[in-house]
A = this chain, B = another copy of it.
Amino acid sequence: MKTIFNNLHQCHDSSMELFEGSIVPAFEKPQRAELIRQRINEVHLGPIVNASEFPLRFATAVHDLRMVAFIENAYTEWEQLGRTGGAIPYSFLARGCCCNAVPVSLDGRLAYYTFDVATPVTRTSWQAVKGSVDTALTAAKLLHDGERAAFALCRPPGHHAGTDYYGGYCFLNNAAIAVNAIVEEGSQRVAVLDIDYHHGNGTQEIFYRRDDVLFVSIHADPTHEFPFFSGHADEAGASDGEGFNLNFPLPAGTGWKVWSEALGNALSRIAAYGPDVLVVSLGVDTYHGDPISHFLLGQEDFIRLGKRIASLQRPTLFVMEGGYAVDELGINVVNVLTGYEGA
């Protein structure tokens, strides 16, 4: 399997984040992508290909143009105000408030567009954000050109970014942008299987009213885990998309047995849908050693998981999402891919 990589990922390095009341080193850091690349080389998974550049219209086909422009330009405005560090909000939307009017000031737009303080726009973040989208689009093009599978080693991740909001380390939704491009290229049906520990709230929202994209997610129960307000089992899609959104929220402490049962149900639904292409939002923060997550998958489980995904026998695009146990990150991610390849 080919891996698509983009050196520009290093342009996003937020160094610190606010987590559980403390300022801590950022969990989502450049080392993540580098270690995965290193492991890919070690096990000779396949060629590592540089990402090509794609027009921004692929991103704005999925995201609000104003938000995309905001992410591109926020740091310049931030700096003009004499501020340092990454651009983050100090306030957020309160429930019940009017949210139709986009505020004008920078702090107001930050409050409008992002939902946490863990996703700062730094001086060079945009290069990484755009580069991450290009990584996913390059991989999608490989599939279009006949590859059976490809791995988009995206960084920053994307699945928490919605039509007009970003957060959870994600700016633009790489997977969703790739899915939309695949549909535009002529696929009738695309399935997204999101196996990150956290619910892919952005991807769900983007496709919630569409029946040409089936979104299936296995994740930590949002009543206990980020993103907290999305990912419940009763969120089944709306309008044309009703029945095309399927969530499997699982409790803390979930290990392979329960997780793989959910995977079996997810794969059955995907098989019944019969997608032209499968896009996997690949997070490995389901690993028992992950510092911010509470599932108990082991390294070998990731191989099994890859095999199970391969059993669908669909052209498959893996898009990198989360996973923060850095020392084992390369092993866990590549185990999924070798599991898939060896199936």
What residues make up the interface of A, taking CB atoms closer than 8 Å to B?
Answer: 18-23, 78, 81, 83-88, 90-99, 101, 103-105, 107-108, 111-112, 115-118, 120, 162-165, 167-168, 201, 205, 222-230, 232, 235
Contact residues in B for A107 (Cβ distance below 8 Å) = 20, 226, 228
**In contact, A115 and B92 (Cβ under 8 angstroms):** yes
Interchain Cβ contacts under 8 Å between A and B, 22 examples: A19-B90, A20-B81, A21-B78, A21-B87, A22-B83, A90-B226, A91-B116, A92-B167, A93-B95, A94-B165, A94-B201, A94-B227, A96-B165, A98-B232, A101-B223, A101-B232, A103-B223, A103-B229, A105-B224, A108-B222, A108-B223, A111-B228
Q: Given A96-B205, A98-B232, verify A90-B117 contact (CB < 8 Å).
A: yes
Contact residues in B for A225 (Cβ distance below 8 Å) = 105, 108
**In contact, B115 and A93 (Cβ under 8 angstroms):** yes
Task: Known A-B contacts: A21-B86, A91-B116, A103-B222. Give 15 more (CB < 8 A).
Answer: A21-B88, A91-B228, A93-B93, A94-B115, A95-B162, A95-B165, A97-B201, A98-B229, A103-B223, A107-B226, A108-B228, A111-B228, A111-B229, A112-B228, A112-B229
Contact residues in B for A88 (Cβ distance below 8 Å) = 18, 21
**In contact, B230 and A91 (Cβ under 8 angstroms):** no
Copies per complex? 2
Q: Given A92-B116, A224-B104, verify A99-B229 contact (CB < 8 Å).
A: yes
**In contact, A230 and B105 (Cβ under 8 angstroms):** no
